[in-house]
Amino acid sequence: MLTISGRAYRNCEGQTRRDVLRAGVLGLTGMGLADLLRIEAQARSAGRPTPDDLSVILVWLDGGPPQHETYDPKPEAPAEFRGPLHAIDTAVPGIALPELMPKHARMMDKLSLIRSMHHNNGDHFAAAHWMLTGYLGANAASLGSTHPSFGSVIGKLKGARAAGMPAYVGLPQTHSIGLSPGYHGAAYLGVAYNPFTADGDPNNDRYRVPNLAPPAGIDAPRVGERRALLDAFDHLRRDVDSTGLVDGLDRFRAQAYEMVTGPAARAAFDIRKEDPRLRDQYGRNTWGQSALLGRRLVEAGVRFVTLTYGGWDMHSSLEKSIHRAGPMLDNAVGTLVSDLDQRGLLDSTIVVVMGEFGRTPRINKQGVAGSDNVPGRDHWGEVMSVMVAGGGFKGGQAIGASNARGETPKDRPLMPIDLIATLYKRLGIDADATFINNAGRPISLAGTGRVIDELLA
């Protein structure tokens, strides 16, 4: 862990030379350079973004969002399944959404809803690990992550899209699932590929990302002198290091040095530069301003951004909770997709919205023990919904379906690793490629995943 100005922070490496990035990914895909150049030239001539152009924004709904009240309403189901919300029509005939999602409804032609995702696990930690890595995890946060998140994999293999920017950023918090950065982290890929944590509330005008400026009284030349001194010490340490820790710290330090001494990252994180009217459209709350900051980061060259929105563990007070969370989610994500589209960034930015599982199709009668005894929905991994937009993926569709009560997949059942394999394919990453885990075994990135062809335009 690298420490600057007395406070530790973690970030990931963002390699900035496009030729190095291309060579690294080619080594995994087995493609020749001429093949890749030809494919990219064809894509550019057709006006489509290439894998090197793409960024990802993951909106993580921590706690498990109810599918009935988000992306899979069941207006014809009995009341105890249907829930408290009415369904509304969308821009795509035949696809309905809950009444609290009018912005999503108006732009449904740009969205794809996966309504048949499942993994059959109802534990927060194990399920979150499964959704974020493609592999089932342990049911205790203290046991840590055994596989890297797809954010860390993408950050490692693709790097940042611009100099002076981290490859992978997590905000407004990154420690909601497990120990920070939890299952959003890099596991056996090494600490260099954990997200750069930008914890805090972007809705607060005093929000500043720590460690993006030299300490008071220390200018850039003195930072350079300190870097040279650290390099000298680490040259000695590397000779005896067999764990790879020093190399990881090298990546931290190189990234930190570039971020602290250059203006790019500080400018990208300065949300005060945005038009107040646009900030109002996103919503003057933590979720809305985090979404706006996510757009600023991908626009500036960050490859992968995770936005963690908590409060979705709605065992009780479902109606009250969804009337609070639903409009904020609709505002944040709906405005994000629209804003990206208006700026010409939607084709080069993949937006994914999901949580660790869905909620029980039948509403419980009294909430959970010790709650306010108001009905809610409990954990349910048998089916859930995922929203995908942008990045050249096809919109205006619902992929798969749950049964009439939202209990299990009815058509086109899909697993988390299928979605991850699809993201890798779009980003030019070979899902069959392997990394060596901490036990010395080669582990496939997502080789058992089946690409979701319906998403590929």
pLDDT at site 11: 28
Q: Which runs of E-coded beta strand occur in 107-197? A: 111-117, 168-171, 196-197
Give the span between the Cα atoms of 362 and 407, in whole angstroms.
8
Q: Collapsing DSSP states into helix, strand and coil, what is residue 289?
A: helix
Low-confidence residues of the chain, pLDDT below 50? Answer: 1-34, 36, 215-218, 222-223, 225-227, 229-230, 233, 236-242, 245-246, 249, 370
Q: Collapsing DSSP states into helix, strand and coil, what is residue 254?
A: helix
Record the tokens describing residue 115, joined without a space.
Answer: 């309504």
Residue pLDDT, tens place only, 85-114: 999 999 999 999 999 999 999 999 999 999
**Residue 355 forms part of a structural domain:** yes
**Residue 229 forms part of a structural domain:** no
Give the span between the Cα atoms of 55 and 49, in whole angstroms.
10
Residue whose C-alpha is closest to residue 328's, from 271, 284, 276: 284
Record the tokens describing residue 181, joined without a space.
Answer: 């950065």
pLDDT at site 10: 32
Give the span between the Cα atoms of 383 and 407, in whole angstroms.
6
Enclosing domain of residue 329: 2-213+266-455
Give the span between the Cα atoms of 354 and 65, in whole angstroms.
8
C-beta neighbour count of 115 within 10 angstroms: 24
Q: Return the CATH number at 201.
A: 3.40.720.10
**Residue 246 forms part of a structural domain:** no
**Residue 84 forms part of a structural domain:** yes
Q: What is the pTM of this model?
A: 0.83
Degrees, nearest 5: CA angle 295-298-299: 80
C-alpha torsion sign, points 254, 255, 258, 260: negative
**Residue 238 forms part of a structural domain:** no
**Residue 220 forms part of a structural domain:** no
Give the span between the Cα atoms of 283 and 270, in whole angstroms.
17
Peptide bond connecting 375 to the previous residue in cis, omega within 30 degrees of 0: no
Residue pLDDT, tens place only, 411-420: 999 999 999 9
Record the tokens describing residue 175, joined without a space.
Answer: 């420690």
Backbone angles phi, psi at 46, to 5 degrees: -90, 0
Give the span between the Cα atoms of 308 and 86, in whole angstroms.
27
Give the span between the Cα atoms of 452 and 457, in whole angstroms.
11
C-beta neighbour count of 410 within 10 angstroms: 15
pLDDT at site 201: 93
When divided into structural domains, the chain yields a total of 1
pLDDT at site 144: 82
**Residue 218 forms part of a structural domain:** no
C-beta neighbour count of 39 within 10 angstroms: 14
- CA 406 distance to own-chain centroid: 25
Give the span between the Cα atoms of 442 and 435, in whole angstroms.
5
pLDDT at site 181: 73
Give the span between the Cα atoms of 382 and 379, in whole angstroms.
9
pLDDT at site 322: 98
**Residue 165 forms part of a structural domain:** yes
Residue 239 CB-density burial (10 A; 0-12 exposed, 13-18 middle, 19+ buried)? exposed
Q: Which residue has the tokens 């919300």?
A: 85
pLDDT at site 249: 46
